[in-house]
Amino acid sequence: MQTQLDAAARDIAAHLAQVLRPYSGHVGDAMRHATQGGKRLRAFLVLEGARLHGVGAARAIWPATAIEAMHAYSLVHDDLPCMDDDAERRGQPTVHVKWDEMTAVLTGDALQALAFQLVVHPEVGSGDVRAELAQTLARAAGGQGMVLGQALDMAAERAQTPLSLDRITALQAGKTGALFEWSAAVGARMADADPAPLIRYAAAMGQAFQIHDDVIDVTGDAAAAGKAVGKDAEAGKATFVSLLGLDGARTRAATLVDDACDALSDYGADATTLQQTARFAISRHS
């Protein structure tokens, strides 16, 4: 699986370089900077879900690149001083540190717009397919999905009472899970197949991924993670680890990965790579 993940990351990087070539100035440079590196896990889910449904890579590369642009936008804005105020991302200076806050805001805006430009590219498929992908991406990324989760996360930092486990789970379902679910379901939607099993898979994997992020924030080091760690504990923020303990969080993540793998049982051996991807989500170091 790691070999396939690495190969997909190279393909996505090459395609991003191609689509970003016309962009110039500070914003263009910052867009390239913001989309460098990373695991490309969301894009990999797009490509694997497409393969599972017989959708060719030449079509799937467009929504796969789109989700990386959308994810990069979210990170650029998340790193801003008014949000999480991070100086480092993927081992490199964040956009507002390398340039300035104005450039970071505009770079995020441009990357979000690029995501929709890519997802409706003619090579993706019929007008109906492209419209469905654009509509579902807007819902997953916006005020009912990722943005809602981010808003709840910001509110939680100012709350007098730490969030309960149920509220953290709901928060992360938006902040992290929504884009995972969209990514996994793309292939089924492109093939006019039922996306429900892949959505269930991604919902469980997305929560496991976030729990493991909380574990890394406690046990990891900044060099391995490529970003600051320990910030949640310093802020007194409720996390899966603070509520469940390290062992409890790890157990919950492992159970969720089992649930994710079970959701794909009807696909048989064809889903082996996606099942391995779920297990990777709780074994990574960053």
Domain residue limits, the chain: 2-280
CA torsion sign for 69, 72, 77, 80 is: negative
CATH class of 2-280: mainly alpha
Which has more confidence, 160 or 70? Answer: 70
Position 63 scores a pLDDT of 98
Q: Is residue 285 very low, low, confident or very high in pLDDT (cuts 50, 70, 90)? A: confident
pLDDT at position 143 over 90: yes
The amino acid occupying position 244 is L
Position 157 scores a pLDDT of 81
Q: Which of 110, 90, 88 is nearest to 98 (CA)?
A: 88
3-state secondary structure the chain: CHHHHHHHHHHHHHHHHHHHCCCCHHHHHHHHHHCCCCCCHHHHHHHHHHHHCCCCHHHHHHHHHHHHHHHHHHHHHHCCCCCCCCCEECCEECHHHHCCHHHHHHHHHHHHHHHHHHHCCHHHCCHHHHHHHHHHHHHHHCCCCHHHHHHHHHHHHHCCCCCCHHHHHHHHHHHHHHHHHHHHHHHHHHCCCCCHHHHHHHHHHHHHHHHHHHHHHHHCCHHHHCCCCCHHHHCCCCCHHHHHHHHHHHHHHHHHHHHHHHHCHHHHHHHHHHHHHHHHCCCCCC
- Are the C-beta atoms of 263 and 204 separated by less than 8 Å? yes
Residues 6+ apart with CB under 8 A from 205: 180, 184, 256, 257, 260, 277, 278, 281
Give pTM, 2 decimals: 0.93
pLDDT at position 226 over 60: no
Rounded distance, CA 75 to CA 39, Å?
Answer: 14
Tokens of 109: 């805006």
Rounded distance, CA 183 to CA 170, Å?
Answer: 19
What's the mean pLDDT in 108-131? 98
> How does the average pLDDT of the chain come out, rounded?
93
Per-residue pLDDT tens over the stretch 167-188 = 999 999 999 999 999 999 999 9
Position 48 scores a pLDDT of 97
Residue 59, number of CB atoms within 10 A of its CB: 17
First to last CA, the chain: 17
Q: What percent of the chain has pLDDT over 90?
A: 84
Position 1 scores a pLDDT of 76
Position 221 scores a pLDDT of 66
